[in-house]
Every structure is written in structure tokens, then in C-alpha cells.
């Protein structure tokens, strides 16, 4: 599967052949492409089924945790603290996670991570009072630290279980699945937490991790011969990670692509969940602690993130230039969504803003991942995705922190207006970079 990867793991970008897909194929994509992928590729199908179940539990957990903290503390800073912890933990673990992903069996990493998380989330049931919130933060840190191994391995394994021809469809389908499960899982999680309480959501989350591990166990993946380090010491592992950083510093285009999620997390995405919780808990309260209204907001947002990449890909295909142009355009749609959302006029306009913000942000996220999948050599892929995740995690933690402070100091609407203006920064940087590379908005 990795036969096209250059022998040298850090070969310059020009030596990594791009995935070439005929124009006729990219302009006639339909749902048949995604159905064929699921029917023909059993390994990807099992990986995908595991993703569905695991993501369902993730949203149960997030809504339950956020609603529980909002109910116990009523503090915007306390809510933002949850998201800071969720991001700092994988950031701190990412250097080790990247090396582990490139050294060891990626399927086994995914299975072990699922089993560990099943045990950790059961302990959430112990948090019963405001004095126990510290334990929720600790358990969240442990859960997301393990996720810091899972997420880079999940991204890195994708080109190992599908062909190059299937890679674009597999990435788009995985991203759409994330969005659909955000929509469905958030709605169901909000219903469960709002009707039967947040502790039911935690219990179901643990079960989903076990089911996910079962499906991933059925993936017939074998570690590629190109994968693995020559030494086993801590110094060897650190050296490998440093080599991965040198690769990113040398390949500036890869670094720019890998930085996009971090930049938008710093400006908008890192604190957006905090704002959603505040809107649900203070302005449009449905269910216990606003858990049902939070589920509705996340459902609408998830629908937007799912539809966006699928619709945009019908035009862009997997062509490098079109992917870059689409990222520029949909940064703009993200800003429009924030403009609609910021006045907080009524429940319906808030949901419309959520949808537009998700639509634009989903394209930026998925197309950035697709560019990395097509351009990064397999031998360094784990470290690149781990570093991308580290940048995103740290930026998200900072974004959640400033958002919590802004909510307590300025209020919800003013915080959303700040997000709108901050969103112009990463969008402008990406526009400048694509124009500099000759991939601006003009169509040749």
C-alpha cells in the first residue's frame, strides 16, 4: 500500500508524487463513490464502523461534562476550563504520540486507546458535587491524553487501508461521519442527559469505546515495512520527533497547511464550544442545564460540517489548486455564520449561524487534512499529524481560555463579535499564501 512512498522518509516535497485523478472523475462524483468504498474495502468499513460508535460516545461525554459543570458551578471560566483541559492534555502528549504512531502497529494503538478510555470515562460517575469538579478535570485530562494517541494514529492509518484512488473519498467520508455523529450524537446525547441525567451519558460513552475496539480489531491491517524506528531508547524517540519537526520546517507549505487548524482554533474554534454552552445554559434553556438546547445547537453545527465538505468536493475533487481555493472561500462563509450568530436575535437565527459556521469550518478542516494526506510521505505521516494535532490542541486551549474570560467580562454577543474579527486573521494569511503560490481565486 505504501509502495509509492519515497525510500527516504523525509524526502523533499517535490519527490512525493501527488495523487492524480482524472478531471472527468472528479466532476462526476456521487454517493456511489462512497458506497463503493464501503462495499469493496472491508478494512476501511470496519475502521469506519468503529469511528461511528466511538464518536457517538464522544458527544455523549462532551455534552454530559459541559452540562454537569454548568449546573454545578454556573461559571463561564469553569466551562472554558473543561475545554482548556481537553486540549492541553493531547498537546502535551503529542510528541510521544507521533513517534509511537510511526514506530508501532497503528491498529493496536487504536484498540488499546479505546480500551483505556472505556475504563477512564466510567470514573466520571464519581463526580457528584462542585467540590468534585477537580476530578472531572483530571479524568478529562487522562481521557484526552489517550485520545492524543488515537487521533494521529487514525489519520495516519487511513492511507494504509485504502488505495490512492480511494483516499479522497475515504477522508471525506470519515469527516462527514464525524459531522453526522456530531449532529446525531449531540442530539441523542442532549436528549439522554436532559431526560435521564448526565450520568447515563457517561455510562453509554464507556460502552461505545468497547464496541469501537471490537470493530477496529477486525481491521486486517499489518504494519508497513517502512514503518518503525531503528532504536528503542527515549533519546532515539526524541531524535525521531525532532527529525519530524525538521521535515516540517523544511517543507514550509506542509507547515502552513498543518498550522491552519491551529490558527482557526485560536481565533474561533477553540472557544466556540464554550460559547455554545453559554448560549444554551443562559439564553435558550431547554432540558437540564440547557443540555437539550446544547444538543440542538451541536446537531445543527454538525449538519453544516458534514454537508460542507461533501458539497464543496463535487467542485474541487482532490485537485491541489481547487482544495486550496475552497479553503479560502469557506473561511469567508465561516465569517458570515458568525455575523448571523453574533446578534443572538432569536433561536432560529442562532441555529442558522451555527449551520453556516459549521459549513465553512468543515470545508477548511477536511480539505486541510486532504492536502496533508496527499503530500506527506508515509514514514513521517504520524509525526506530521501529531504535530498538527499539537498545534491545534494548544491553540484550542488558548482559544477556550480567552473565550471564557471574554464571556465573564463582556458577555456572549461581544465575544462572538470578537470571534468574527479574529477569523479574518487566519483567512487572510491563507489567502496570502495561496496567492503567493499562484493558487489564488482566479480560475485558469
SS3 assignment for 33-93: HHHHHHHHCHHHHHHHHHHHHHHHHHHHHHHHHHHHHHHHHCCHHHHHHHHHHHHHHHHHH
pTM of the model: 0.66
Q: Rounded mean pLDDT of 238-260?
A: 83
Q: What SS3 state is found at 17?
A: coil
* pLDDT grade for 340, boundaries at 50, 70 and 90: very high
Angle at which helices 412-436 and 252-264 cross, to 10°: 170
Q: How confident is the model over 395-412, as pLDDT tens digits?
A: 887 888 888 889 888 899
pLDDT (tens digit per residue) in 197-215: 778 888 888 898 999 999 9
Q: Is the pLDDT of residue 21 over 60?
A: no
Own/partner long-range contacts of 316-320 (Cβ < 8 Å, ≥24 apart): 316/26, 316/367, 317/21, 317/23, 317/25, 317/26, 317/27, 317/29, 317/168, 318/19, 318/21, 318/26, 318/167, 318/168, 318/370, 318/374, 319/21, 319/26, 320/18, 320/371, 320/374, 320/439
Among 26-40, 126-140, 210-224, the range of highest mean pLDDT: 126-140
**pLDDT mean across residues, the chain:** 79
DSSP state for residue 222 in the 8-state scheme: -
What span, in angstroms and rounded, lies between the C-alpha atoms of 259 and 388?
Answer: 6
CATH number of 41-218+234-436, picked from 2.60.130.10, 1.10.3260.10, 1.10.1370.30, 1.20.1250.20: 1.20.1250.20
Taken in order 306, 311, 312, 313, the sign of the CA dihedral is positive
Closest of 45, 433, 389, 4 to residue 215, by C-alpha = 45
Here the cell at position 139 is 479524568
Residue 61: name the closest of 268, 205, 251, 256 by CA: 205
End-to-end CA distance of the chain: 34
CA 77 – CA 65 distance, rounded (Å): 14
The pLDDT-based confidence of 351 (bands split at 50, 70, 90) is: very high
55-84 pLDDT per residue, tens: 777 777 877 888 788 788 877 677 778 877
Whether 241 shows a pLDDT value over 50: the answer reads yes
User: How far apart are the C-alpha atoms of 319 and 226, rounded to whole Å?
Assistant: 27
pLDDT in the model for residue 170: 83
All cell numbers assigned to 325: 481555493
Give the pLDDT confidence score for residue 336 in this predicted structure.
93
The pLDDT assigned to 2 comes to: 33
More confident residue, 17 or 155: 155
Pair 242, 140: CB distance under 8 Å:
no
Nine-digit cell string for 109: 494503538
Amino acid at each position: 500500500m505504501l509502495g509509492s512512498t519515497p525510500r527516504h522518509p523525509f524526502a523533499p516535497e517535490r519527490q512525493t508524487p501527488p495523487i492524480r485523478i482524472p478531471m472527468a472523475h472528479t466532476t462526476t462524483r456521487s454517493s456511489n463513490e462512497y458506497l463503493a468504498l464501503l462495499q469493496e474495502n472491508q478494512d476501511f468499513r470496519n475502521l469506519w464502523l468503529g469511528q461511528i460508535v466511538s464518536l457517538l460516545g464522544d458527544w455523549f461525554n462532551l455534552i454530559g461534562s459541559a452540562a454537569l459543570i454548568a449546573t454545578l458551578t454556573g461559571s463561564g471560566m469553569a466551562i472554558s476550563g473543561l475545554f482548556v483541559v481537553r486540549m492541553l492534555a493531547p498537546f502535551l502528549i503529542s510528541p510521544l504520540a507521533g513517534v509511537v504512531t510511526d514506530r508501532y502497529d497503528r491498529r493496536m494503538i487504536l484498540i488499546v486507546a479505546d480500551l483505556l478510555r472505556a475504563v477512564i470515562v466510567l470514573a466520571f460517575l464519581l463526580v457528584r458535587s462542585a467540590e468534585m469538579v477537580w476530578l472531572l478535570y483530571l479524568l478529562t485530562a487522562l481521557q484526552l491524553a489517550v485520545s492524543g494517541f488515537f487521533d494521529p494514529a487514525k489519520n495516519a492509518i487511513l492511507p494504509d487501508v485504502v488505495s490512492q484512488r480511494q483516499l479522497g473519498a475515504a477522508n471525506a467520508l470519515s469527516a462527514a461521519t464525524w459531522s453526522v455523529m456530531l449532529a446525531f450524537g449531540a442530539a441523542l446525547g442532549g436528549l439522554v442527559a436532559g431526560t435521564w441525567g448526565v450520568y447515563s451519558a457517561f455510562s453509554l460513552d464507556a460502552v461505545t469505546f468497547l464496541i469501537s475496539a471490537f470493530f477496529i480489531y477486525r481491521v486486517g491491517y499489518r504494519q508497513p515495512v517502512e514503518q518503525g524506528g531503528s532504536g528503542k531508547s527515549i533519546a532515539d524517540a526524541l531524535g525521531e520527533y525532532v527529525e519530524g519537526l525538521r521535515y516540517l520546517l523544511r517543507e514550509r507549505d506542509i507547515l502552513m497547511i498543518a498550522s491552519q487548524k491551529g490558527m482557526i482554533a485560536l481565533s474561533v474554534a477553540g472557544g466556540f464550544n464554550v460559547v455554545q454552552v453559554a448560549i444554551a445554559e443562559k439564553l435558550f434553556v431547554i432540558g437540564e442545564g440547557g443540555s437539550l438546547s446544547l444538543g440542538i445547537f451541536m446537531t445543527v453545527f454538525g449538519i453544516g460540517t458534514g454537508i460542507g465538505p461533501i458539497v464543496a468536493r463535487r467542485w474541487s475533487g482532490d485537485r491541489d489548486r481547487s482544495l486550496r481555493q475552497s479553503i479560502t472561500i469557506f473561511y469567508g462563509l465561516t465569517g458570515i455564520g458568525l455575523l448571523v450568530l453574533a446578534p443572538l436575535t432569536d433561536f432560529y437565527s442562532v441555529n442558522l449561524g451555527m449551520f453556516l459556521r459549521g459549513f465553512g469550518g468543515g470545508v477548511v478542516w477536511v480539505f486541510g487534512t486532504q492536502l496533508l494526506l496527499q503530500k506527506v510521505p508515509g514514514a513521517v505521516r504520524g509525526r506530521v499529524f501529531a504535530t498538527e494535532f499539537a498545534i491545534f490542541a494548544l491553540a484550542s486551549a488558548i482559544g477556550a481560555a480567552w473565550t471564557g474570560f471574554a464571556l465573564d467580562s463582556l458577555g456572549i454577543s461581544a465575544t462572538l463579535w470578537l470571534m468574527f474579527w479574529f477569523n479574518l486573521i487566519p483567512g487572510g494569511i491563507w489567502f496570502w499564501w495561496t496567492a503567493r503560490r499562484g493558487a489564488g481565486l482566479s480560475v485558469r
